[in-house]
Structure 1
Amino acid sequence: MDKISIQADWLDGMAFETEVNGHKLIIDADEKVGGTNRGPRPKPLMLVALAGCTGMDVVSILKKMREDVKKFRVSVEALQTDDHPKHYVEMKVIYEFWGNNLNPENVNKAVKLSDEKYCGVSAAYRKGMKLTHEVIIHNE
């Protein structure tokens, strides 16, 4: 088992700086709670992590299937509790494809493989919340 770690160094106010894979990132809070809006909030980055993880899987799989994808968008919608600690209880991943004669069976297979086998983010999130997805194909 690999041990992965990050450090987040407090800058001031509510801002922290971290480095991920050699890229610096500042996370901060909204001004209403003492931040200065110098960077994204931590929780929405959970949605980014899911979109990136599954998106990379799907692109890789569809390239191997030789599907002619011209444009691809991954959107993630989340439902958050109203009470503290506010947390996500459900996420929906929307995969939207544009291309020439895309085979719906291959597209759905790529999404399913990412969802069920390859994406470690969705595997972890599924243990704590409901995950669903939708596939939209625009053949040009």
Structure 2
Amino acid sequence: KLGVPCELRVSSAHKNTDQTLNLIAEYEGEGIPTVFVSVAGRSNGLGPVTSGNCSFPVINCPPVSGEWGPRDIWSSLRVPSGLGCTTVLFPEAAALAAAQILALSDHVIWARLKANQHNNWVALKLADKKVKAQQAL
């Protein structure tokens, strides 16, 4: 929707730490503006390990499901000191936050975000007008 380039990768900070660190290093050396979105359930080590080993923004987006879901979120919220990863609950919010970060250095993404905001504003105005017209009946 916003035309933000995206790569999906699979790694585990707990089960294969070396692979995770090597993957992070690949992106660190490219010189391309990057945002990591860490999707890790249960005890989220992926987001904090990524944040502690790179200079890019890291957004945790833990999948909330099952009996333990609400409790699993705490490992994404209470991260070790000195780490700058943030946490959102919905994939759409993570994607939007990543786009907003990348828009700081990409005018095309910035323009698409502005157009998206404008479209949301127009949709709200139209919905308000429709509700108001229905009340008049």
Is the TM value for this pair above 0.5? no
More strand by share: 1
TM-score (norm 1): 0.25
If the length of structure 2 is used for normalisation, what is the TM-score? 0.25
More helix by share: 2
Q: Kindly name which structure, 1 or 2, has the bigger radius of gyration based on alpha carbons.
A: 2
